[in-house]
Amino acid sequence: MKEGFPLLATSPFMGIRCDGPPQAQIVGFPYEATSSFRSGSRFAPNAIRKYADSLETYSPYRQRDLADIALADLGNLNFEDTLYVLIPNHLDELRLWCAKIRSRAFTLFLGGEHTSSLAFISEEDAADPGFLILVLDAHLDLRDTYQGTPYSHASWLRRALERLGPERVILAGARSGTQEEFRLAREVGILAPRPRAILSLLEERRPRRIHLSIDIDVLDPSVAPGTGNPEPMGWQVADVMELLEYLTAWNVISADLVEYSPPYDPSGKTGIVAAFLARELLLAFAG
């Protein structure tokens, strides 16, 4: 592990600790360098841990208890000095670092801004025709550059698309972007509006390994207003739960939950939803 990316210890998710080999892991990835509107996603990992303390470890939906699972919360990657650890400057090293962690067990990365997801697609993933990234996001994030950088929350999926090709990308819940972004997305055929359409695309493409990337703004602002760029006409939590039900039949190796902005969540409702989704993701995909 690169010495430049130390993990900062935190109070573990739901107070769970494990000594042996983990069945699932959590890593906080509080990267925030290009937020353009309502920043604060760097505070999300710890806020999600805080709100998780108000939830039960048992999920009646999965009929499984987190307390029965060897869950390792590894703490947060040290991004406190974001001027130093910028993703574009450290992307290769970050990819290696994340891949090494992920090789041990299903890993949930808690962002951070959406640019973080570029670090979760390893060299091995890029070389594997059976790898696919499934993205839930209100925004297309397909700009070539944004505010002068090709590595922005508004252009990260363009970079991922270039790396993987359209056959290995699915984007769901997208409802905001430029005319050019929508033209590109339709042309290459990566859009799936609803969980059912995602399932059809998966059955067509049959990926062997999936990374699931969830931007909290895929949800409607009435459900999750505490995010950088809220966008009306979004999904309900039940839609994500329907998708998770389908995905349990597939090999989801890792996931990320990004763009939650605690400073814009005074009621805590978005934090509760984020913590709930974190619990459900861990229970759905823990080994």
Closer residue to Mn ion, CB minimum distance, 215 or 265: 215
CB of residue 137 to Mn ion, shortest distance in Å:
4
Closer residue to Mn ion, CB minimum distance, 23 or 35: 35
Determine if the peptide bond prior to 112 is cis (ω within 30°).
yes
Closer residue to Mn ion, CB minimum distance, 111 or 207: 111
CA distances from 74 to 71, 80, 112, 152, 260 (A): 9, 16, 16, 26, 20
CA distance 159 to 95: 14
Q: Is the dihedral of CA 223, 259, 61, 49 positive or negative?
A: negative
CA distance 111 to 260: 8
Closer residue to Mn ion, CB minimum distance, 97 or 260: 260
CB of residue 56 to Mn ion, shortest distance in Å:
29
CB of residue 229 to Mn ion, shortest distance in Å:
6
Q: Please, which residues bridge with residue 131 across strands?
A: 209
Name every residue whose Cβ is closer than 8 Å to that of residue 231 and which is 6 or more positions away in sequence: 138, 139, 175, 176, 217, 221
Closer residue to Mn ion, CB minimum distance, 99 or 214: 214
Residue nearest to Mn ion as judged by C-beta position: 139
Closer residue to Mn ion, CB minimum distance, 32 or 217: 217
CB of residue 118 to Mn ion, shortest distance in Å:
14
CB of residue 214 to Mn ion, shortest distance in Å:
10
Q: Please, which residues bridge with residue 219 across strands?
A: 235
CB of residue 130 to Mn ion, shortest distance in Å:
27
Nearest C-alpha neighbor of 136 from the set 120, 117, 123: 117
Q: Which residues bind Mn ion (CB under 5 A)?
A: 137-139, 215, 217
Q: Please, which residues bridge with residue 8 across strands?
A: 76
Rg (CA), the chain: 17
